[in-house]
Chains A and B, each alone.
Chain A
Amino acid sequence: MRIDAKGIYYRELNRILREAIASGEKELVVDNVNGQRYIADAVEEKVTIIVNGVPGNDLGVFMNGPTVIVNDSAQDAVGNTMNQGKIVIHGHAGDVLGYGMRGGKMFIRDDVGYRVGIHMKSYKKQVPVIVAGGKAGDFFGEYMAGGILMLLGLNARDGEMLAGDYLGTGMHGGVIYVRGRVEKHQLGAEVGEVDLDDQDQQLLQEHLGEFCEDFDLDLKEVMGTKFTKLIPISSRPYGNLYAY
């Protein structure tokens, strides 16, 4: 089903989408999207939504199943508190992506803004994954309690840093992989660098394989650079801050 979003307010657009999904549509193509918010908000069905244009903030907020493909850049708060499903962005995306994300996948081809993956969580097999193909702003993986963040810097110039400062500040769970090196001064106080083992390589192969397929990239080339693995030093970083 094709929907022309030109000039349609978000509330109307989302109503049309929800009704189409309820009537059994499995693939929805939305053309001329121009800043409409909340696309796929809390949608539970495993449908595919193809967004042609730049969607507004909170794309895929509370989303619980769909696959959303954006054939352009996206704005802020993509995948906010998302629970399940997949978001693929063929371009850049803004700040606070995957805030409190609880599951599912988000692939961004290019750069991402500040505070990406903030307070991501996981429980047993429910592990959210964000892969950013470009560079990231400050506070990447802040307060992270679980999940997987990957930063590839495929568009980085020689010597250019992939991440900003305060990387993983307040992190107490999950793991961050950066393709290349990270300077010590960039790291939050709660993060430590450790060597990658076979399991890590397997994880990278698995997720980056899918990433490369989605964006038509060469996995060998992507895997050809050494990765840095960051994990929290303590699962209770602020345990000693308080007097009882």
Chain B
Amino acid sequence: MFKSFVPPEFLAEIDQGKCRKCRRCIQNCGWDVYSWGGDRVLADDTKCVACQRCYLFCPEEAISIKSNPLAFKEHPAWSDDHRKKIYLQAETGGVLLTSMGASTPYPILWDNILIDACQVTNPSIDPLREPMELRTYLGRKPDSLEFEEDGDGGLKLKTDVAPQVKLDTPFIFAPMSYGALSLNAHKSLAMAAKELGIVMNTGEGGLHQDLYPYRDNIIVQCASGRFGVHSEYLNAGVAVEIKIGQGAKPGIGGHLPGEKVGMEVSKTRMIPQGTDALSPAPHHDIYSIEDLRQLIYALKEATDYKPVSVKIAAVHNVAAIASGIVRAGADMVYLDGARGGTGAAPTIIRDHLGIPIEHAVAAVDDRLRQEGIRHMASIIAAGGIRSSADAAKAIALGADVVSLGTAALIAMGCRVCGKCYTGNCSWGITTQRPELTRRLDPEIFAERLYNLITAWSRELKEILGALGINAVESLRGNRERLRGVGLDSLTLDILGIKPAGR
């Protein structure tokens, strides 16, 4: 048999002395690493992705997963990774497919930004004992507010305010489709969103009937493949999102490999079973800002004028594009940075296209303010938000809310192995195999998601308290409270922040 030139990335080692031969590892591994050899468990290292499912479910801790120590001769240009990719492509002739966010080590500027705090001259606030407002409304805000007498000696609002999406905390779950995710993962997100008073986003695979009861906590997406899009679906959420692009794969369409298109997904998407669900790269009814306006208003007409979000990948000219989106009538602009995740994308696209969210959110907020249209749309920042600190910095750079994709998956057990596209996820998250999806109990994993967002919300309050601010909206675009360390002056200028010490 031909042996691949690509060495296994990991070694799955079983301590045969500790192993009780319960074979739980064989049962738990979605990758078929383990098999029964008659008297002991055998491991096929080539299939291991280090998802750690076997390790965590081995009652004897008899399994260890190690990086393959096999040495390549060191070379400053030809990394192991470059060599392995060339071996694989020489064997297959294929475009390399991958998942999750970019693995290229571009600088992450969140790690070069520090947040201010109060000392002596201005009092900080204790968030445990004083009110602290995290509530955020997504949508178009009026140019000005007019009031009139209510006849009872008071005043009432005269201005018509466009419909808003109410969020109890400035975090939302990122669009991840049913198809990329299992139904149980989708349910976990919907249940958690409901408990938290936030929203999940369907992604572009339509909405399973089981999730229609969560309509107050769902944003439905309309992408170029128009999978699962019909009038009932469009009205099944609090807002509609037009997906133009995704941070992990700017300029290309969605990609759901055929392995994950089973009967239920085939039904929701209305495509043949086993086919690759490839959405067209552009919406073929959108070749311009004017065309985008056409779809925005088609959706508004279809939903009695619900708010419409437009999601784009952060690309070089993002500020001008965002301005066009707002002028086209969008109520929210969703910016997905270059480190954003994906269920499946060509590696070369994921790792080399777009710009990071830090730059994008700062540039867009700047541009919209300069043009006097910042109030006309909310900004959603996404693409590798790893902690409440990243979130606070994104908000201070100009975002209204931050959106969590990978972080939410990690809360559900994801190990970021980057193999979602295979449909073998041992954690039951990014698979459609019933024996694997069954593992993900929505009740339990909704609670984990609830815990994560609750913890981050508390931390955000701690940060606000230290800043002496009692509402998250006072943090929004408040770049005076950020300082850069180790950043050059041009980058500081783009971010609109001063260096530490100034």
Q: Do A and B bind each other?
A: yes
| Chain A residues within CB distance 8 Å of chain B | 11, 14, 37-38, 41-42, 44, 57-58, 61-64, 76-77, 80-81, 83, 96, 99-100, 102, 115, 118-119, 121-123, 126, 142-143, 145-146, 170, 172-173, 235-244
Contact (A118, B280) CB under 8 Å given A38-B297, A42-B231, A81-B229:
yes
6 contacts between A and B (CB under 8 A): A42-B234, A42-B302, A121-B269, A123-B270, A236-B274, A239-B276
Give, as a whole number of angstroms, the nearest-CB distance from A126 to chain B.
7
Chain A's interface: helix, strand, loop or mixed, by majority?
loop
Shortest Cβ gap from A162 to chain B (Å): 21
List the 5 closest A-B pairs by CB distance, nearest first. A243-B94, A100-B226, A42-B302, A121-B270, A243-B92
Complex contacts, B271 vs chain A, CB 8 Å:
121, 145-146, 172-173
Inter-chain CA distance A119–B228, complex, in Å, is: 12
Known interface pairs A119-B225, A243-B94. Does A58 touch B294 (Cβ–Cβ under 8 Å)?
yes
Q: B278 contacts A41, CB within 8 Å? A: no
Contacts of A38 in B (CB 8 A): 297-298, 301
CA distance A144 to B258 in the complex (A): 16
Nearest-CB distance from A84 to chain B (Å)? 9
Closest to B422 in A: A244
Q: Smallest CB–CB gap between A143 and chain B, Å? A: 6
Query: A81 vs B346: C-alpha distance in the bound complex, in angstroms?
Result: 28
Q: Are B230 and A81 in contact (CB under 8 A)?
A: yes
By a CB distance below 8 angstroms, the chain A residues around B234 are 42, 62
How far is it, in angstroms, between the C-alpha of A236 and the C-alpha of B257 when the chains are bound? 9
| A23 to B294 alpha-carbon distance, docked (Å) | 28
Chain B residues near A76 (CB-CB < 8 A): 285
Contacts A37-B294, A41-B298 given: A64-B258 contact, CB under 8 Å? Answer: no
Q: Are B231 and A119 neighbours in the complex by a CB distance under 8 Å?
A: no
Are A236 and B258 touching (Cβ within 8 A)?
Answer: yes
B89 adjacent to chain A (CB < 8 Å):
yes
A64, B230: Cβ atoms closer than 8 Å: yes
Contact indicator A37/B297 (Cβ below 8 Å): yes
Which label, helix, strand, loop or mixed, suits the secondary structure of the B interface?
mixed
With A64-B231, A100-B226, A244-B422 as contacts: A77 and B285 at CB distance below 8 Å: yes
Q: Is B284 part of the binding interface, using a Cβ–Cβ cutoff of 8 Å?
A: yes
Q: Closest CB of chain B to A239's CB: distance in Å?
A: 6
Question: Can you name the residue of chain B whose Cβ is closest to the Cβ of A63?
Answer: B231
Say whether B226 contacts A243, CB under 8 Å: no
With both beta carbons as reference points, the residue of chain B lying nearest to A82 in the complex is identified as: B230
At the interface, yes or no: B272 with Cβ under 8 Å from chain A? Answer: yes
**B297-308, CB under 8 A of A: which get 1 and which 0?**
110011100000
Bound-complex Cα distance A170 to B276 (A): 11
Contact A42 B270 (CB under 8 A): no
Q: Cβ of B302: which chain A residues have Cβ within 8 Å of it?
A: 41-42, 61-62
The CA-CA distance from A180 to B429 in the complex, in Å, is: 50
Is B485 interfacial (CB-CB < 8 Å)? no
Complex alpha-carbon distance, A237 and B275, angstroms: 8
Q: Which residues of B contact A240 (CB under 8 A)?
A: 94
Is the Cβ of B231 less than 8 Å from the Cβ of A44? yes
Residues facing A in B389-408 (CB within 8 A) are none
How far, in angstroms, from A237 to B222 measured CA to CA in the complex? Answer: 24
> Contact between A80 and B225 (Cβ–Cβ < 8 Å)?
no
A contact residues around B230 at 8 Å (CB)? 62, 64, 81, 83, 102
Q: A14-B301, A42-B302, A58-B294 are in contact. Are A244 and B274 (CB under 8 A)?
A: no
Please, which residues of chain B bring their CB within 8 A of the CB of A41? 298, 301-302
Q: Within 8 Å of chain A (Cβ to Cβ): is B88?
A: yes
Q: Could you tell me if A81 and B226 are in contact, using CB atoms closer than 8 angstroms?
A: yes
Asked if residues A99 and B270 are in contact (CB atoms below 8 Å), the reply is: no
Please tell me if the beta carbons of A58 and B280 are within 8 angstroms of each other in the complex. Answer: no
Is the CB of B320 closer than 8 A to any CB of chain A? no
A244 lies within 8 A of B231 (CB)? no
- Bound state CA distance, A83 and B230, in angstroms? 6
Contact partner, A145, options B88, B95, B96, B275, Cβ 8 Å: B275
Q: How far is the CA of A14 from the CA of B305 in the complex (A)?
A: 12
Chain A residue numbers with a CB within 8 Å of B88 are: 243
Q: A61 contacts which chain B residues (CB < 8 A)?
A: 298, 301-302
Of B95, B280, B301, the residue contacting A143 (CB under 8 A) is: B280
* Cβ-defined contact, A238 with B294, below 8 A: no
Given A37-B298, A38-B298, A123-B267, 13 additional A-B pairs, CB 8 A: A42-B235, A42-B303, A61-B298, A62-B230, A80-B298, A81-B222, A102-B229, A119-B226, A121-B270, A172-B272, A237-B276, A243-B96, A244-B94
Please give the distance in Å from A74's CB to the nearest CB on chain B.
14
B266 contacts partner chain A, Cβ-Cβ < 8 Å: yes
Q: Is B97 an interface residue (CB 8 A)?
A: yes
Q: Which residues of A contact B93 (CB under 8 A)?
A: 243
The residues of A that contact B266 with a CB separation of less than 8 Å are: 123
B421 at interface by CB-CB < 8 Å: yes
Measured CB to CB, the nearest residue on chain A to B89 is A243
Determine how close the nearest CB of chain A comes to the CB of B423; give it in whole angstroms: 10
For residue B421, which residues in chain A have a CB less than 8 angstroms away from its CB? 244
Q: Are A243 and B285 in contact (CB under 8 A)?
A: no
Given known contacts A42-B231, A172-B272, A115 and B284 CB-to-CB distance under 8 angstroms: yes
| A145-B229 in contact (CB<8A) | no
How long is the Cα–Cα vector from A237 to B277 in the complex, in angstroms? Answer: 11
Bound together, the chains give a CA A143 to CA B303 distance in angstroms of 27
Contact yes or no, B95 A242, CB < 8 A: yes
Name the contact of A236 in the complex, choosing from B91, B275, B303, B346 (C-beta under 8 A).
Answer: B275
Residue of A nearest to B346 (CB): A242
